[in-house]
Structure formats: structure tokens, C-alpha cells
């Protein structure tokens, strides 16, 4: 907008932008994350893939929510352990690897083979947008 501008026009433009951004999110509320074909609801602690609910353990859910809440960010095994278990994560790579492997298996089965969790070799795991 160029100066001088009418404050009413500014308000109208901001409202239009807000309206468009909420329309793009669809019917998701603030406790839900939609990524790939998944809808993750933190409040209800549920995950849906193509309309079907997945049966995840609390650890698997927390790992998935961690990845989905920061898509594109790579988490090391130590970081995952510290975020999910809330403990210092020294020598825990096998524990995290088993949980991520189980989570991947459930996600791939529910999404007909879609590879949602990516491995960044030598660094950790992530979910792309």
C-alpha cells in the first residue's frame, strides 16, 4: 500500500488475508497438524491417515508430532530422546532407531507405502513438507 492510506482499507486488506489463510487450512483447528496424508491431533492424541485412525504408542505419537511440528528440521537421536523422554540422551541411538522403525512401518502400512519419515544419513531423521 502506498502512503497516504486509508485505515479502513488497511483493515479490509488484513481481514482478507486472514480469511484466505484460514480457508487454506480447511477445517483444522490449532491443535491439529496436516502433513502429507496425515492429520495429527495433539489434544486428542490421534493420528488419521486417509480417514483411518492409526494405533500408535505414546512414544511413537510424540516422535511423529515432534517431526510434523517442525517439517524439514533434522533431529538427531539424542535430540529426539531429549524431547520425547525428557531425559539426557547419551547412548540412546538404538532405542530411538527402534521406535522410529516401528513408527515408519505403521505409517507406510496406513498410507499405502508413502515414505513420510526420511533418514538423513549420519545426522538423524526428519519429515519433509
Q: How far is residue 36 from each of residues 68, 93, 100, 110, measured CA to CA in Å? A: 10, 26, 17, 12
Give the per-residue pLDDT at 32.
Answer: 84
Question: How many Cα neighbours within 13 Å face the side chain of 52?
Answer: 10
Q: Cα(89)–Cα(109) distance, rounded to whole angstroms? A: 29
- pLDDT tens per residue across span 56-68: 999 999 999 999 9
Quickly state the pLDDT bin for 124 (edges 50, 70, 90): very high
CATH code for position 96: 1.10.10.10
Residue 78's domain comprises 7-127
Give the per-residue pLDDT at 74.
Answer: 94
Mean pLDDT of 47-56: 89
Question: How many Cα neighbours within 13 Å face the side chain of 61?
Answer: 17
Residue 25 pLDDT greater than 80, yes or no: no
Does 50 or 30 have the greater pLDDT score? 50
Quickly state the pLDDT bin for 30 (edges 50, 70, 90): low
Residue 29 pLDDT greater than 60, yes or no: no
Q: Cα(28)–Cα(80) distance, rounded to whole angstroms? A: 26
pTM of the model: 0.74
Tell whether 1 is covered by a domain.
no
Tell whether 2 is covered by a domain.
no
Give the per-residue pLDDT at 59.
Answer: 93
Report the share of the chain in percent with pLDDT over 90: 36
| Tally of structural domains, the chain | 1
Q: What is the mean pLDDT of the chain?
A: 84
Amino acid at each position: 500500500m502506498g502512503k497516504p492510506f486509508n485505515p479502513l482499507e488497511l483493515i479490509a486488506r488484513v481481514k482478507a488475508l486472514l480469511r484466505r489463510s484460514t480457508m487454506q487450512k480447511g477445517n483444522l483447528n490449532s491443535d491439529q497438524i496436516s502433513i502429507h496424508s496425515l492429520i495429527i491431533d495433539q489434544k486428542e492424541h490421534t493420528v488419521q491417515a486417509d480417514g483411518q485412525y492409526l494405533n500408535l504408542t505414546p512414544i511413537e505419537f510424540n516422535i511423529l508430532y515432534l517431526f510434523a511440528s517442525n517439517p524439514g528440521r533434522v533431529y538427531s537421536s539424542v535430540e529426539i530422546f531429549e524431547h520425547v523422554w525428557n531425559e539426557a540422551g547419551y547412548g540412546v541411538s538404538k532405542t530411538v532407531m527402534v521406535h522410529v522403525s516401528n513408527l515408519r512401518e505403521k505409517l507406510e502400512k496406513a498410507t499405502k507405502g508413502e515414505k513420510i519419515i526420511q533418514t538423513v544419513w549420519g545426522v538423524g531423521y526428519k519429515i519433509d513438507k
